[in-house]
Structure 1
């Protein structure tokens, strides 16, 4: 394709309360595989919803030729649904079965069309993505969603979109909750997609597989050729040049200010000399009057010249400073939560999980445990089992689904409920560190985006009373932008309590200083020196 696949023209959108998101956005994206990056709240998911038509712009247009597939960050699937319903195959399967039994109608043949092998194709695609569906076993399409893990549900949603054979595929955080094996398979399947892919993700490995990075910042889109590593290299070089330009502009402004002062001193001296000559009347009055007027004109030009240079230097400095990025990032300061070696934290002895495995787990002191394992094996279930038998120290849990809020209450009210003895001023000051400043802290939890929900959940956990000495974290990096991820990593690396972390991000686990890796298998927990 020679023409851009996605065209955005004069796109303008604001929320119902008047909060602007885009104002006259123009962009062209594609063809190829594009990674869409930007800070939480920049409008990435909103842009996706505008591209799909779910939201309508105030002004402008978006053009997406061909069929569009959209894997949402929140799939919005209801428990009780069957796999074939999620895949959009339920009606076609029923028609197929009626035809096979000899009871098919003309409407059934019309519905099936050329999709006689739709069940086999669905099972094959599910298998390619690591969902362990046995080839030919179409009865597995009758499974219900509650039997699937969060990661399996994400993969199921991707299969549903791919079966529709789209020309353009939008992926919003597609690797959330996926183990390393499932991620690798997703990379392969998405990499082989022949159309245009636009991906929002904090997964660096996925972003390093794209052709182009499109950065959404301050309501504008800028494209960078190459993958995320190349984007970072270009950005780092630009920022170094911008900081050098700021230093040079500051030096020039100091120079111009100094020359202005020197010019004023010279002018003052001339004026004093001229006044002295006038007072002593050493020259004819007309001559002195002409000289005085000439001196005043000359002084005015000189002064205005230097003032103009100072103003130009100030403007140039402001322009250079605008090029230096000062992105808002969460600032996490964890409370005093020191545990000492040998201190009892939690102990489970031959605890049977509902999904099958029998587990024994003992945590002492400030251990950092990475809990790994394949999707669906029961890692989230194990965290809930730990929470059901209260540990020996103050603890908090970050659930994968972030369902810890009273959705009708504001961010501030939710955090205040977790820290009942904290004064409002302190809560608001701490929330500001999580980027909930001013009125942002008064937004209802139910209106938060994925990244905002994670920040709010982290605030609830880390500002709670008493301060937690054990954190149970279920995929804590989901939906977090890369700068904020760096700060969360730094904060957890300095946490002096115990951590039990479910994560499929090997870089994150390494950076927070994991001391033990436990893999959950069908036979229980086993020590795992590698990554899962």
Structure 2
């Protein structure tokens, strides 16, 4: 449903072509009204790029953007943007804090005082506002002396979001704001979105978050289509549209078949008439002028009849094309995991007196195809443990022995060579595999043809996820212990990739350790044990921390 509210953020004829000539967005018109809006679309459709264009962080190739008021933008690639800046600078208040400190220290130079007062402006209460915004997101001011490099992924998201709130924008753009957040932090962001009083546009795969928006825009090749209500309403409306579209396609195909048959029947009639006319000419002995006149009249009638049927068939074909255009082209990720089985009872992982660099003692052994969920607050050491298990981070004490081939899907998907293509990244991890086999395998991850030759640096977040997943799962030898760090952060909101990942892991016969804040995902893949790093306890039965599994449409092992 198109929105009729006055627009606060507009884009007109917006287009973007990357320097290598690859088109991203074309002639896009967008009206974002006051209130809370969500934006969804398949991976690679340009959602994050669109937010960057709307925020002014990226210049369009064509068209223009107009914003009424200050625009704040929470980017998805926070680590690259943050660098190793001090916490106060990451919050955007460093200059004001230093100016206030200079005043408190007794600065007396008139010129210097003028500069300091101009820097502070109306932000005399910046300390109080900072404490309030940090508390709103579950952080406290004891972290003000830290640097960005010291923050976990979830802490970095919350600090960056606090920075946007401190800037008091009239328009807030959020790109996957709940990625890497634990349950408490996610709920805080949900509350922030639900109570946001001004204009907000959020790109997210978090279905619970999108229940709090007033409308959802679906970004597709031909533009943005708006649907009223939150995620449940969006799913219902799109489902109704697709049912109608499927019926329209069936009707149009039947009509086209009927028109083709009618044209063929008409050709048979014309051929029969022509044979009858020839026999009549031969038996009646009519003058040549009369024969020619009758022949011309018959040919004219035949041409007219053919034209009628050709027009009808062409119209039916056009209606079929229009009906097919209304069908969504949602693609399905197909993943299989051959050669990963681990016999029951076989020792897979052995940790002895292990203490992480975070100070958390860990008691974790795996036998057979066990499934362990890592839970805990941001910064509790979940990613650190996974990196310790593969030998990338040394423990503070103790030892780790991995007794089978292991694969790690990192949270930042940063283990891919950004300058190499998708196919080159996968081939490097599977030496000796024929090129055609690599490309055939990548097609199951939706990298078909030229898509497999795209550099990783040009991929969207979801495409990078698929490439990283392919690189891990297609490694030779195949991993029999799979370590997943927040695997559902970047998946399409149409959930095709989400379903495929869940189904693949349900059929996975190896051992699994997964760090995730996505409880429905943990329920669906059927974890056996939980290691809670917040409580610094050994693994316990899953029900103690996750509760009984929720109802799921997937088979749980």
Provide the residue aligned with 1:114 in structure 2: 122
Is the 8 Å Cα contact of residues 44 and 459 (structure 2) preserved in structure 1?
no
1:485 aligns with 2:526: no
1:247 aligns with 2:250: yes
Provide structure 2 residue ranges, at least 5 long, that are not aligned to the other structure: 392-399, 548-557
Provide the residue aligned with 2:143 in structure 1: 140
Is the 8 Å Cα contact of residues 21 and 219 (structure 1) preserved in structure 2?
no
1:520 aligns with 2:533: yes
Is the 8 Å Cα contact of residues 42 and 219 (structure 1) preserved in structure 2?
no
What's the secondary structure of 2:312's corresponding residue?
helix
1:332 aligns with 2:340: no
Aligned residues: 527
Is the 8 Å Cα contact of residues 347 and 366 (structure 2) preserved in structure 1?
yes
Is the 8 Å Cα contact of residues 11 and 61 (structure 1) preserved in structure 2?
yes
Q: How far off its partner does 1:155 sit? A: 0.3
Q: How far off its partner does 1:78 sit? A: 4.8
1:99 aligns with 2:110: no
Question: Deviation per CA, 1:204-239, whole angstroms, max 9, x where unpaired?
Answer: 111111111011100511111111211111111111
- Cα separation, 1, equivalents of 2:17 and 2:81: 27
Provide the residue aligned with 2:91 in structure 1: 87
Q: Structure 2 vs 1, CA of residues 357 and 231 (structure 1 numbering), >3 Å: closer, same or farther?
A: same
- Cα separation, 2, equivalents of 1:152 and 1:219: 37
Q: Structure 2 vs 1, CA of residues 259 and 79 (structure 1 numbering), >3 Å: closer, same or farther?
A: closer
1:275 aligns with 2:275: no
Equivalent of 2:323 in 320, 323, 333 = 320
Provide the residue aligned with 1:496 in structure 2: 509
Equivalent of 1:15 in 11, 18, 28 = 18
- Cα separation, 1, equivalents of 2:420 and 2:5: 50
Q: Structure 2 vs 1, CA of residues 311 and 190 (structure 1 numbering), >3 Å: closer, same or farther?
A: closer
Question: Deviation per CA, 1:279-301, whole angstroms, max 9, x where unpaired?
Answer: 22276776655544433332232
Alignment of 1:227-242 (within 5 A): 227-242=230-245
- Cα separation, 1, equivalents of 2:119 and 2:511: 57
Indicate the larger mover: 385-394 or 55-64.
Answer: 385-394
Alignment of 1:446-485 (within 5 A): 446-482=457-493, 483-485=496-498
User: Under a length normalisation based on structure 2, what TM-score does the superposition of the two structures give?
Assistant: 0.89
Indicate the larger mover: 115-124 or 242-251.
Answer: 115-124
Question: Deviation per CA, 1:327-369, whole angstroms, max 9, x where unpaired?
Answer: 2343222223122222221122331111121111122222222
- Cα separation, 1, equivalents of 2:428 and 2:258: 56
Q: Structure 2 vs 1, CA of residues 139 and 229 (structure 1 numbering), >3 Å: closer, same or farther?
A: closer
Is the 8 Å Cα contact of residues 193 and 212 (structure 2) preserved in structure 1?
no
Provide the residue aligned with 1:419 in structure 2: 430
Provide the residue aligned with 2:183 in structure 1: 180
Is the 8 Å Cα contact of residues 193 and 213 (structure 2) preserved in structure 1?
no
Equivalent of 2:304 in 298, 301, 305 = 301
- Cα separation, 2, equivalents of 1:49 and 1:231: 25
What's the secondary structure of 1:524's corresponding residue?
coil
Provide the residue aligned with 1:369 in structure 2: 372
Q: How far off its partner does 1:200 sit? A: 0.7
What's the secondary structure of 1:525's corresponding residue?
coil
Is the 8 Å Cα contact of residues 406 and 479 (structure 2) preserved in structure 1?
yes
Is the 8 Å Cα contact of residues 409 and 445 (structure 1) preserved in structure 2?
yes
- Cα separation, 2, equivalents of 1:79 and 1:313: 58
Q: Structure 2 vs 1, CA of residues 285 and 422 (structure 1 numbering), >3 Å: closer, same or farther?
A: same
Q: Structure 2 vs 1, CA of residues 310 and 114 (structure 1 numbering), >3 Å: closer, same or farther?
A: closer
Q: Structure 2 vs 1, CA of residues 297 and 107 (structure 1 numbering), >3 Å: closer, same or farther?
A: closer
Is the 8 Å Cα contact of residues 245 and 327 (structure 2) preserved in structure 1?
yes
Indicate the larger mover: 470-479 or 289-298.
Answer: 289-298
Indicate the larger mover: 112-121 or 81-90.
Answer: 112-121
Provide structure 1 residue ranges, at least 5 long, that are not aligned to the other structure: none
- Cα separation, 2, equivalents of 1:106 and 1:307: 82
Indicate the larger mover: 288-297 or 152-161.
Answer: 288-297
1:531 aligns with 2:535: no
Alignment of 1:47-66 (within 5 A): 47-66=50-69
Provide the residue aligned with 1:125 in structure 2: 133
- Cα separation, 2, equivalents of 1:215 and 1:406: 31
User: Under a length normalisation based on structure 1, what TM-score does the superposition of the two structures give?
Assistant: 0.94
- Cα separation, 2, equivalents of 1:501 and 1:416: 25
Is the 8 Å Cα contact of residues 334 and 491 (structure 1) preserved in structure 2?
yes
Q: Structure 2 vs 1, CA of residues 525 and 127 (structure 1 numbering), >3 Å: closer, same or farther?
A: farther
Indicate the larger mover: 69-78 or 31-40.
Answer: 69-78
